[in-house]
Amino acid sequence: MAALLARLTNAVATSKYGRSYRDACGHRKFGLMYDDLLAENPVVEEAIRRLSDEERQARYRRIKIASDLTIKGKALPKDQWVTDETEHYYLTPHVDRIIEERQQNSIFGGDTDYNALLKSFADQKKE
C-alpha cells in the first residue's frame, strides 16, 4: 500500500501540477519529507529497521522537530523548508523491496508469518 501511494504521489509530483501539490501538502514547511509521513505498519517498521543509523536518526530528528513546531503552532523559516532539491525517497525503496520479498516468498511456498517475525525482532531489541 505504501509503495502504491508513493508511486501515485510520484506520478502527481512529476506532473505539471506537481509543485502545487507538494506545496499544498504542508509537510515541507515543518522540515518533513514525504517518506516521514508513511504510517508505521509492519512493512514500514521493517523498512525503518533496514535504514542506516544516520538515516534513522535524521528521520527521528525531523519528526521530533515537526512535532515540536506543530505544538507551538509555528513553522520553520522558509529557507529551512524541504525543497525539490533536498527531498528524496529514502524509505520507499526499502518498502518496495520488502513487499517484493514477501510476494516472492508467497509464490515460492514460504510459510513465514511476517507479523510474528517482525514482532520477534522488536522483542529482541527490547531485551
> Which candidate, 79, 86, 107, places its Cα nearest to that of 34?
86
pLDDT, tens digit, 9 for 90 and up, residues 49-86: 999 999 999 999 999 999 999 999 999 999 999 988 89
Class of residue 16 by CB neighbours under 10 A (exposed 0-12, middle 13-18, buried 19+): exposed
* Cell representation of residue 17: 501540477
Q: Does the global pTM surpass 0.75?
A: no
Q: Which residue has the cell 508467497?
A: 106
Residue 117 backbone class (left: φ over 0; alpha: ψ -120 to 50; beta: rest): alpha
> Which candidate, 9, 5, 11, places its Cα nearest to that of 41?
5
